[in-house]
């Protein structure tokens, strides 16, 4: 009799302690989250705006993704850059690892004005070099279809990262097509 | 509490990375630039110290049957807090460490110290243990970062110095890119562990060799 009672108390204690610890932790996390949420959102916004300004400077950007009817699933977001053209965020297919997210500026006459890598999990030292200036500069002012030299194009692929380079080319092509479909 | 002994254990004789061989995943993955190494090392140090203190405080309340679950909840709580703070105030670091901050939850160093030290010792001793074990981890990370960055990229201080590019020591084209890839992590870590073992065993080396010869 006594023993079963002890066991019962032990079980209740296990549950209670674990519950209390989890509850306190959850409470603390909620607190920290509410303190940092604004700063994190601001950081992300600042990063996107910086990337947009880099690829196609304009005074204001408006999100016009809703009116896109091109049906290209790799196109994530389209911003209309005031009087300059479009900035298109693309997650191209065929990246080497994880999701690659590229911001592409397209001028009103359909040329690529620059690219910026927003998110990458490509191999560091190889594919991750796609965010280096010497690679990105190749896309500035590019007209027509982007492809790497190996495929008969003009883009010098990154050393040891042809797959990543091709993915970036795909992103640029998708972006240009999307911008063209927006008129 | 013997601070001197704990210091020596954390950094040398019981170094979490080279002697206990814990937390190897992050050691291999993020030691490519000095900035990453210091950031990751300090994050682990902070989390380890906080988790040690809390677990030591709760060691008499936590029933042994659910202790691992309790430890993991405490550790995961601190890791998430650090992750959120980094995202909010050090976005660059948070981005370059990426997934490896949340993965500290399952880093064996922290659970290992909770189980083998904090759950058996007082709060102050556990805090000291957290700091020194964290330092031991950080020191090894920094050594690996410096070696791998130098041999793989030819730079020093990547992510911090010279606007984030690091100071170039070797001209481009000479560095062996493999050193910043996983294979370089294995090679560097093996060399660091071998060197550490060599120096740890040096004093009694003569006796050992004699024994081996006689065998």
Number of domains forming the structure of chain B: 1
Count of pairs with CB atoms under 8 A, one residue in A, one in B: 62
> Distance (Å, rounded) from C-alpha B160 to C-alpha B166?
7
Domain range holding B134? 3-203
**What does the pLDDT look like over B81-116, one tens digit per residue?**
999 999 898 888 887 787 788 888 888 899 999 998
**Closest residue on chain B to A42 (Cα):** B88
With an 8 Å Cβ cutoff, is B68 touching chain A?
no
Reported in sequence order, the residue ranges of B84-149 that DSSP labels E, i.e. its strands, are none
* Cα–Cα distance measured from residue B36 to residue B63, given in angstroms and rounded to the nearest whole number: 38
* pLDDT at position B211: 47
Closest CB to A22: pick one of B61, B73, B91.
B73
Please tell me what DSSP assigns to residue A112: E
Give chain B's radius of gyration (CA, Å): 19
What backbone torsions phi and psi does residue A85 show, to the nearest 5 degrees? Answer: 140, -140
Q: Where are the domains of chain A?
A: 1-183
Q: Chain B within 8 Å of A181 (Cβ-Cβ)?
A: no
Whether residue B212 is contained in a domain is answered as no
Euclidean distance between the first and the last CA atom of chain A, given in angstroms as a whole number: 83
Classify residue B214: in a domain, yes or no. Answer: no
**B100 within some domain:** yes
Q: What is the pLDDT of residues A40-97, one digit of tens each?
A: 889 888 888 888 888 888 877 888 888 887 778 888 888 888 878 888 888 888 888 7
B163 touches chain A (CB under 8 A): no
Separation between Cα atoms, residue B6 and residue A183, nearest integer Å: 69
Does B210 reside within a domain? no
Q: In Å, how far is B178's CA from the nearest CA of chain A?
A: 9
| One pLDDT digit (tens) per residue for chain B, 215 residues | 678 888 888 888 888 888 888 888 888 888 888 888 898 999 999 999 999 999 999 988 888 888 899 999 999 999 999 999 998 988 888 877 877 888 888 888 999 999 989 999 999 999 999 999 999 999 999 999 999 988 887 888 776 776 666 777 777 777 777 788 888 889 999 999 999 888 888 766 555 554 444 44
| pTM for this predicted structure | 0.75
Q: Which residues contact B197 (CB under 8 A, 6 or more apart)?
A: B18
């Amino acid at each position: 009799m006594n023993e079963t009672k002890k066991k019962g108390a032990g079980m209740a204690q296990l549950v209670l302690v674990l519950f209390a610890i989890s509850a306190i932790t959850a409470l603390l996390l909620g607190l920290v989250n509410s303190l940092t949420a604004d700063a994190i959102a601001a950081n992300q916004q600042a990063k996107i705006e910086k990337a947009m300004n880099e690829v196609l400077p304009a005074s204001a950007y408006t999100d016009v993704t809703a009116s896109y009817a091109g049906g290209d699933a790799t196109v994530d977001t389209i911003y209309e850059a005031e009087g300059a053209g479009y900035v298109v965020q693309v997650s191209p297919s065929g990246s080497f690892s994880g999701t690659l997210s590229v911001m592409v500026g397209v001028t009103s006459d359909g040329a690529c004005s620059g690219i910026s890598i927003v998110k990458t999990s490509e191999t560091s030292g190889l594919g991750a070099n796609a965010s280096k200036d010497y690679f990105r500069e190749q896309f500035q002012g590019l007209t027509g279809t982007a492809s790497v030299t190996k495929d008969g194009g003009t883009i010098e692929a990154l050393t040891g990262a042809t797959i990543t380079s091709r993915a970036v080319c795909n992103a640029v092509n998708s972006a240009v097509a999307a911008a063209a479909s927006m008129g | 509490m013997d601070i001197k002994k704990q210091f020596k254990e954390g950094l040398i004789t019981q170094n979490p990375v080279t002697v206990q061989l814990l937390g190897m995943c992050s050691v291999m993955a993020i030691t490519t630039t000095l900035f990453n190494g210091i950031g990751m090392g300090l994050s682990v140090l902070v989390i380890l110290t906080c988790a040690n203190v809390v677990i030591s405080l709760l060691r008499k309340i936590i029933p042994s049957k659910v202790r691992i679950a309790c430890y993991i909840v405490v550790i995961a709580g601190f890791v998430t807090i650090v992750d959120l703070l980094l995202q909010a105030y050090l976005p660059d670091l948070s981005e370059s460490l990426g997934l490896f901050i949340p993965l500290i939850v399952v880093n064996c160093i922290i659970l290992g110290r909770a189980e083998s030290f904090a759950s058996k010792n007082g709060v102050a001793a556990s805090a000291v243990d957290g700091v020194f074990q964290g330092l031991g981890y950080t020191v090894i990370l920094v050594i690996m970062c410096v070696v791998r960055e130098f041999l793989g990229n030819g730079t020093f201080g990547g992510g911090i110095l010279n606007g984030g590019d690091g100071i170039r020591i070797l001209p481009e084209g000479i560095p062996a890119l493999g050193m910043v890839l996983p294979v370089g992590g294995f090679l560097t870590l093996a060399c660091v562990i071998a060197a550490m073992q060599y120096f740890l065993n040096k004093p009694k080396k003569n006796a050992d060799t004699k024994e081996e010869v006689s065998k």
